[in-house]
Amino acid sequence: MTVYNKEYRELQQIKLAVDCIIFGFNDNKLELLLIHRGFEPEKGKWSLIGGFVGENEDLDKAANRVLYKLSGLEDIYMEQVKAFGKADRDSSGHVVSITYSAMILKSEYNEDQVSNYNAKWFPIEELPELVFDHRDMVESAIRRLRRRVRNFPIAFNLLPAKFTLPQLQMLYEGILNESIDKRNFRRKVLQMKYLVRLEEKDMSESRKGAYFYRFDEALYKVEKNFNL
Amino acid sequence: MTVYNKEYRELQQIKLAVDCIIFGFNDNKLELLLIHRGFEPEKGKWSLIGGFVGENEDLDKAANRVLYKLSGLEDIYMEQVKAFGKADRDSSGHVVSITYSAMILKSEYNEDQVSNYNAKWFPIEELPELVFDHRDMVESAIRRLRRRVRNFPIAFNLLPAKFTLPQLQMLYEGILNESIDKRNFRRKVLQMKYLVRLEEKDMSESRKGAYFYRFDEALYKVEKNFNL
DNA sequence: GCAAAAGTGTTCAGCATACACCCATGG
DNA sequence: CCATGGGTGTATGCTGAACACTTTTGC
């Protein structure tokens, strides 16, 4: 906004933070990256990856900096989810936090960084106790993810560049937490011309083998309609 | 979040604000309430209704306080839209702003308050030049409004308790900026049992008169599906 | 030859869209 | 009686959901 209530301008002692909700996919389950909190308050609980926003730092940049520090990952598709602003949400003071969410491919994730930061993946159905209102943050991010994953080709961030349709379906089943009819699913996928079948097959999951597909970004930009 | 980058904790001089995007409906057009900015920087331009968040004040409460101060309206349906956090978005310093949006019935709006605050309604197609990134804020709020108005019974906030179907249709046409088939529109409306026809007719717009309807909150809570 | 996963079509119901005429009334 | 806005029904195509068998291959 602007400068209406001038009186606040000097007094305000609100801190501004970002928290990152980082989704991964493993063992057919949607997972979340958390860090073990080694300090008070709430020491010993688990927490989202978060940090304070820097002076003269864009909010988006802050989220990316925090994510990078923790995961070593750059250029990750990351979106603002929402602001959490109850005055007492953080017991250490008035901290407003903006949540961002990202989807990363665990296999590209640098395992060294994980242990450096006491980070760990948890299936979203088996989360430990989280600090403050981080549970609410996770839930709102999951709702948003479930909404968006049906209308935008974002789930591919959780898969390798080459993936099979059974893999993709299991991913969707994991994210949406419901089972999907194979034939209906495949028909919809195959209508999207930007999902390109490769000649190569994945022979690791079955004797018959499943064709690999890839998501063609350029072709998608032409059609730009996605629906699953 | 929490307390990772402790170094920021003491230094941070970011200000936190809220900006309210207040929609009204008049003359079959969607309108927006703006205030004339009487001070530097950007003096003379128009601005959203905004203000800084108070110490120990919830974000939602801050938005409502600001709205109340300006419009005299309480208990308004108000929702967070998104955070705007580019470091240089406000030329007076690092100010992060969370936008909220509300829909109000102009006829309930206290006209005295408007002049007190140099506030004025503008049709959204004819907005004046706005300060900072307020134009972006408005656009994102309109996109969100258009999305939500199809799936939630929120548009009724822009109409009196008793309204006619022609009124409702013109409201939707105004919000969505497209024309809608009368018969299809009415069929969908009439399927919703919580839109109750009254005996009374509005004789002011035609000789034949149009039945008044009302939105029944309690009945809606039973069905809870809305689609227009 | 059989176990295990991959792959393939059709039917049906519900919903969105397009479209044109009669009704009630005040003047 | 007529001008004005209010009110009504049907046909068509599309999309989502349900549903079961054949194919391939390594063992």
Domain spans of chain B?
6-149, 155-223
- For domain B155-223, give the CATH number: 1.10.10.10
Of the pLDDT bands very low, low, confident and very high (cuts 50, 70, 90), residue B10 is low
Indicate whether B139 pLDDT > 60. Answer: yes
Q: Name every chain B residue with its beta carbon within 8 A of the beta carbon of A86.
A: 58-60
CATH 3.90.79.10 for domain A6-151, yes or no, is yes
Say how many CB pairs under 8 Å bridge A and B.
Answer: 148
> pLDDT at position B172, please?
98
- Where residue B71 falls (left for φ over 0; alpha for ψ -120 to 50; beta otherwise) is alpha
Helix pair B134-149, B165-176: axis angle to 10 deg: 140
Residues of chain A below pLDDT 50: 1-9
Q: What is the distance in angstroms measured between the alpha-carbon CA of A191 and the sugar C1' of D15?
A: 13
pLDDT of A182 reads: 98
Give residue B179's pLDDT. Answer: 96
Cα gap A159→A26, rounded to integer Å: 10
**How far, in Å, CA of A75 to CA of A37, rounded?**
26
Greater model confidence, A97 or B38: A97
Measured between CA atoms, the residue of chain A closest to residue B94 is: A56
Q: Which CATH architecture has domain A159-223?
A: Orthogonal Bundle (1.10)
Residues B149-163, mean pLDDT to the nearest whole number = 96
Would you call B59 and A90 a contact, using CB atoms and an 8 Å cutoff?
no
Say how far residue B160 (Cα) sits from the centre of its chain.
16
pLDDT of residue A143: 97
| B227 interface with A at CB cutoff 8 Å | no
Cβ of residue A44 closer than 8 Å to a chain B Cβ: no
Cα distances (angstroms) measured from residue A90 to each of A14, A101, A131, A210, B59:
11, 20, 9, 49, 13
Question: For the domain B6-149, what is the CATH superfamily, name and number?
Answer: Nucleoside Triphosphate Pyrophosphohydrolase (3.90.79.10)
Residue B7 has pLDDT above 80, yes or no: no
Residue B57: predicted pLDDT? 97
Which 3 state secondary structure label does DSSP give B217? helix
The torsion of the CA quartet B176, B180, B183, B186, rounded to 10 degrees, works out to 10
pLDDT of amino acid A5: 47
**How many Å lie between the alpha carbon of B87 and the closest alpha carbon of chain A?**
5
pLDDT above 70: percentage of residues in chain B:
93
The predicted pLDDT at position B154 comes to 95
pLDDT of B158 reads 95
Chain A within 8 Å of B217 (Cβ-Cβ)?
no
Lowest mean pLDDT among A63-72, B92-101, B151-160, B191-200: A63-72
Report, in angstroms and rounded to the nearest whole number, the Rg of chain A calculated over CA atoms. 20
A156: left (phi over 0), alpha (psi -120 to 50) or beta: alpha
Instruction: Show Cβ contacts of residue A69 under 8 Å, excluding neighbours closer than 6 positions.
Output: A51
User: Least CB-CB distance to B12: which of A15, A42, A66?
Assistant: A15
Structure tokens at A19: 């928290």
